[in-house]
Amino acid sequence: MREARILGSSFVAPYLTIVLLKPIARWRTRAVVILPDAVAPELFRQLRVWLKWGMGRGVAPEASAGWAGRV
């Protein structure tokens, strides 16, 4: 897996989350579509909260509720 930056233009909603990733040293953006029935409900909620509130404050996903690596 390559390192990537999560773009602020990612879309977060209870019914759909689209995470836009900009790989380091690459020009093409990737989109990861996550539907609520593809992930455990609590992990999906934690991901949405982190994307909406924690990401902009520089909070690492590992420091949040522990969903990183389980999605």
Query: From residue 62, how far is each of 19, 58, 65 by CA, in Å?
Result: 17, 12, 7
pLDDT computed for residue 2 by the predictor = 77
Considering the entire predicted model, what is its pTM? 0.73
- Model confidence pLDDT, tens digit, residues 13-65: 999 999 999 999 888 999 999 999 999 999 999 999 999 887 655 555 555 44
- Per-domain residue ranges for the chain? 4-63
Q: Are 47 and 39 in contact (CB under 8 A)?
A: yes
Lookup: tokens for 45:
């909620």
Query: From residue 47, how far is each of 11, 28, 44, 51, 52 by CA, in Å?
Result: 12, 23, 5, 6, 8
pLDDT computed for residue 26 by the predictor = 87
